[in-house]
Amino acid sequence: MKTQRFPPGRIFLIGVLAACFLRLFVFDAVRISGDSMQPVLKNGRRVLVNKLAWGFRLPLTRHYIVRWAEPEAGDIAVFLHNGTFTVKRCAATAGMTLAFSDKNGYSITAGKQSIPLSKEQYGKLSVLFGPQSEHKGKLPPGTAFMLGDNGAASVDSRDYGPVYTDSFCGKVILAGK
């Protein structure tokens, strides 16, 4: 009985196609740029991103073909903000209540977490809920409130407001060196 051998060129081509498929649809690697996610993710560190964490997206678009989950508080996500890939932690998701206060300094409460705000950040965010000294409101459907772990070095939802989850590219699942 004779065994059939595949030519090396065909094996190489299958390997390249499989790698392209995985990169386009399943996983991606992103390099952290900046200090906003320290101490968990340091500047220059590479992370592996699961593109299928929340659904199957049409490649190179923001459209999900099938969505089977939504981001949860605590997830670290990669998303597009102003044309740049951004890595932040999800502090609150759609339907969760955000409470803004200017008593004893400026702060926002998302779930059980109280997050300090600058006067400028408070002014930008309080516009969403009206000009009172205390504001409460639910995050709209399809949005999340994203924060850097290092608040002093982070430009995040405190500065630009909630992020649309359709702009999410995937969930960080592994951090390398």
Asked if 43 contacts 34 with a C-beta cutoff of 8 angstroms, the reply is: yes
Pick from 10, 11, 153: which is nearest to 87 by CA?
153
Structure tokens at 51: 């593109």
Catalytic-residue membership of 88: yes
Give the Cα separation of 81 and 87 in Å (integer).
Answer: 10
Active-site residue identified among 42, 51, 88, 107: 88
Report cis status (omega within 30 of 0) of the bond before 131. no
The DSSP call for residue 32 is -
Active-site residue identified among 36, 126, 154, 157: 36
| CB neighbourhood size of 156 (10 A) | 23
Give the Cα separation of 2 and 22 in Å (integer).
Answer: 34
Asked if 58 contacts 154 with a C-beta cutoff of 8 angstroms, the reply is: no
Three-class SS state of 39: coil
Catalytic-residue membership of 36: yes
Q: Which residues are catalytic?
A: 36, 88
